[in-house]
């Protein structure tokens, strides 16, 4: 399972960072998402990443096999 971010859809709200800070960060220049760890390293990390995908107001995040 892999996290995919579409930066064009990102509105820089930061919900993903709040939900899964080990997986996501925000770019210092424009606040858009940076994926720090595209492949979650544990079930807990994956669960937080999935929560972030569901919370994203820009629908910028998805999971791919
Ligand atoms: S939650 Fe979505 S819109 Fe907000 S910063 Fe993260 S990827 Fe961007």
Rounded Cα gap, residues 33 and 17, in angstroms: 8
What are 65's two structure tokens? Answer: 């096999």
For residue 34, count other CB atoms closer than 10 A to its CB: 15
**Cα–Cα distance for residue pair 23/9, rounded to 1 Å:** 18
- What pTM, to 2 d.p., does this model score? 0.95
Please tell me the residue having the least CA distance from ligand 1 atom 8.
Answer: 10
CA distance 52 to 45: 11
Q: Pocket around ligand 1: residues whose beta carbon is below 6 Å from it?
A: 5, 10-16, 26, 33, 56-58, 60-61
Q: What is the pLDDT of residue 5?
A: 98
Domain extents in the chain: 2-64
Distances (CA, A) of 33 to 12, 46, 54: 7, 17, 15
Over the stretch 37-65, which tens digit does the pLDDT of each residue have?
999 999 999 999 999 999 999 999 999 99
- From ligand 1's centre to the CA of 28, what distance in Å? 14
CATH architecture for segment(s) 2-64: 2-Layer Sandwich (3.30)
């Amino acid at each position: 399972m892999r996290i995919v971010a579409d930066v064009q859809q990102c509105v820089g709200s930061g919900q993903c960072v709040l939900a899964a800070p080990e997986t996501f960060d925000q770019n210092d220049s424009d606040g858009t998402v940076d994926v720090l760890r595209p492949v979650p390293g544990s079930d807990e990390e994956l669960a937080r990443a999935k929560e972030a995908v569901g919370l994203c107001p820009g629908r910028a995040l998805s999971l791919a096999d």
